[in-house]
């Protein structure tokens, strides 16, 4: 069980679209919008976990055409989200972004986030610690995963909010926002480049 908890910690804390976007929302929009966004990510990640545990994700992703459509939708949505973070409060966008990503944006991100599927598949198909009762092991895994997931995401929100509280000059804040958005896109690029 300890090995599973450590795996959860290291798989979730590493930068991916979810935690990087949380930091970006915290930096660009503050704590309230960040907390609402985290709530959406929380629901989304648990829906992905349920899809993985039930086998629904495997059935859907077995179709190459569906995988391709989801990949395109994922990249498109991550580009949209990255642009919201990068151009928050910036006059350089075609239209200034004043509306932060919200609850439903968090759900959509996790539903389209390739890392969410990879992490949940790794966690729920590996690290067996109660082979005599798979349902109980799965339930315990959900509890452990969420007990670690929540504080990690709020820690990333705090990092973003700390950047916001520094009251950086507008051009510096814009650079921070763009750097966070580009970091998120780099993770997506790495996921796309990884062998399938």
Q: Which range among 25-34, 45-54, 119-128 has the greatest average pLDDT?
A: 45-54
Question: What mean pLDDT is predicted for residues 96-103?
Answer: 74
pTM: 0.77
Short-list 156, 152, 153, 176, CA closest to 164? 176
Q: Is pLDDT at 194 greater than 60 in this prediction?
A: no
What pLDDT shows up at residue 13?
77
Q: Is pLDDT at 4 greater than 60 in this prediction?
A: yes
What pLDDT shows up at residue 188?
63
Whether 187 contacts 115, CB under 8 Å: yes
């Amino acid at each position: 069980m300890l090995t599973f908890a450590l795996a959860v910690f290291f798989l979730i804390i590493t930068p991916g679209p979810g935690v990087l976007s949380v930091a970006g929302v915290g930096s660009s929009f503050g704590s309230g919008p960040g907390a609402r966004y985290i709530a959406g990510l929380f629901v989304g990640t648990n829906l992905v976990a349920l899809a993985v545990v039930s086998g629904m994700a495997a059935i859907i992703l077995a179709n190459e055409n569906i995988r391709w459509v989801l990949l395109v939708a994922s990249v498109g949505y991550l580009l949209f989200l990255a642009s919201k973070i990068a151009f928050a409060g910036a006059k350089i966008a075609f239209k200034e972004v004043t509306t932060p990503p919200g609850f439903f944006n968090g759900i959509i991100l996790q539903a389209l986030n390739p890392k969410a599927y990879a992490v949940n598949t790794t966690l729920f198909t590996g690290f067996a610690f109660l082979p005599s009762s798979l349902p109980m092991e799965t339930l315990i895994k959900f509890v452990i995963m969420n007990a670690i997931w929540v504080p990690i995401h709020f820690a990333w929100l705090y990092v973003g909010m700390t950047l916001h509280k520094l009251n950086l000059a507008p051009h510096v804040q814009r650079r921070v926002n763009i750097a966070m958005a580009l970091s998120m896109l780099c993770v997506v690029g790495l996921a796309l480049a990884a062998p399938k």
